[in-house]
Amino acid sequence: MSDILTFSHSLDFPLSPLAQTTPDPQLRALLSALLHTILFHRALGQVRPGVTTCFGTCFPAVQDEERINAIVDAAVELALQHWDATQSVRLIVSVFPSSIGYTASTAAAAPSGAGTDKVAETPQPQSQHAASRLKTLPISWISSAVSLANQAYTHGYVLSGYGNTAHGSAQASPESINKSSSSWGRRDSKLAAAQVINQEREGGQLPFERWIVDIHSVPVQTEHERSKYQSISRQAASFLAATIEFADKFKSNLPAIIGSDLLPFPIRISALPVS
C-alpha cells in the first residue's frame, strides 16, 4: 500500500521555570497516556480494558499487559531525551501490515538495535468499533471527553485521509528495548525522518497507518499566564475524541487480521525532535 493513512494532533504543554531544568513527572504521565490510548485502539486481540488517569482525564489502556507497558515505557524514555534538548517532541506510531512478517511491536531506538519477531498467524475475531470497545472500560468517560472536546479549541487536529506522509522511525526488538540508551545522535527531525524513510523504502517496510502527536512546550511564569492557554485537560479530551473518530471513520481501511496476537499489526513507536 503506497498511501499512508495519517492521524495528526498537537498539544501545548505548560512549562514552569523549574520544569525547564527538571523533568516534569506530569509530562511523563501525559506521554504514557497518549501512547497507551493509541495502542488501545490497535490492540485488536483479546483485550482487558483498563484506564490510566492524567490531568483529571481517564485515558483507555490495555490492562496488565507487560509487553505494551514495556513498549510505552521505552518510547517515553526516548521522547524525554528529545524533550530535554528541544522542549518539544513528536511521537510517531507506525502500524504495519501483518503480511510483511516484520515484527512484534517495538519502541523506537537507534537503527543498530534493530531486530524482529514473527507474528502468529491464526484466525482473529472481527474487532469492534472504537466507541463500542471504549464503553467496556470501568469508567465511562466518553461523553464527558466529547463534551469537553466540543468546547475546546482543536489544536492541529487533521484527518488527512489518504496521503503520502514524510515521517519515519527507527526500531528495536523487544529484547533490546531495555538496552537502548539513545535515539538519533543528531537533533534534526528532518534528517532523522529522511534516514528512516529511506530505510523503510529499501526494506519494503512501509506502514499503512501513522499516528503523529506533537507536544510543544509553552513557557509560563505565573498562573495568570498559564490560564491564557487552553487547559491541558481539555486538550486531552480533544485528543481522545479525535482518536475515537479516526479509529471508527477509517476502520474499514484496516488490512485483514491474520493473527491472534493482542497486537495483530506490527507497531513501531518513534520519538523525534520537532523542528
Query: Rounded to whole angstroms, how far apart are CA atoms 256 and 123?
Result: 10
pTM: 0.67
Express each pLDDT in 203-248 by its tens digit: 567 899 999 999 998 877 776 666 655 678 889 889 999 999 999 9
Do 210 and 8 meet the contact criterion of CB atoms below 8 Å apart? no
The larger pLDDT score, comparing residue 38 to residue 202, is at 38
For residue 24, pLDDT beyond 50: yes
Identify the top-confidence range among 58-67, 72-81, 103-112, 139-148: 72-81
- Under the banding of pLDDT at 50, 70 and 90, the label for residue 138 is very low
Query: Rounded to whole angstroms, how far apart are CA atoms 174 and 117?
Result: 8
Express each pLDDT in 57-91 by its tens digit: 889 998 878 889 999 999 999 999 888 888 899 99
Query: Rounded to whole angstroms, how far apart are CA atoms 20 and 232?
Result: 18
Amino acid found at 224: H
- Number of C-alpha atoms within 13 angstroms, CB side, residue 179? 11
- Under the banding of pLDDT at 50, 70 and 90, the label for residue 130 is low
DSSP per-residue codes, 172-183: --GGGGGG----
